[in-house]
Amino acid sequence: MRADRIDHIGVAVRSIEERLKVYRDLLKLDPVKIEELPERGLRVAFVSVGDTRIELLEPIAENSQVSKFLETRGEGIHHMAFHVDDIEAAIKEAVELEIVPLTKEAQPGASGTRVVFLHPKSAGGVLIELVEGFH
């Protein structure tokens, strides 16, 4: 498995509309897509700058994947995501290297991708997401 690029940087926010004042209004970056992921309790917006995307993550449920993060740390960088061609091979290799995936199988991600997160304790305190599909 080889990551071929940074897919995106995830930023936990309380309000996408409020944060778009920075990304859209100040920096003049157009949101590429805004979508809801009800199974993850999230509303997400992607903005592109060059070849890199920023993913704004807003909770739409109390138990969303960013709710606890926002409670304990406030808004800010949540994770870094790397694109991989074969998510199953990436999960297998992570396990072989004793890097702990948060799920045993890839999960549905935004824009039809398949994703898996790696436990921050396995990656020096950084939550890493591996992404297969879309760019």
Q: What is the DSSP letter of 54?
A: E
- Work out the percent of the chain whose per-residue pLDDT is above 70: 99
Residue 3, both tokens:
């990551």
**In the chain, where are the structural domains located?**
5-132
Q: Is 104 helix (H, G, I), strand (E, B) or coil?
A: coil
Q: Which class is 5-132 in CATH? A: alpha beta
Instruction: Please tell me the distance from the alpha carbon of residue 14 to that of residue 96, in angstroms, as a whole number.
Output: 37
Residues 63-75 pLDDT 10s: 998 999 999 999 9
Q: Which residue has the tokens 């920096």?
A: 27
Contact 109, 117 (CB under 8 A): no
Q: How many CA atoms lie within 13 A of 104 on its CB side?
A: 0
Contact between 37 and 44 under an 8 Å Cβ cutoff? The reply is yes
Q: Which helix (H) or strand (E) holds 93?
A: helix 87-96
Prediction pTM value: 0.89
pLDDT category, 14, cuts 50, 70, 90? very high
pLDDT digits over 77-112, tens only? Answer: 999 999 999 999 999 999 999 999 999 999 999 889
Eight-state DSSP code of residue 101: B
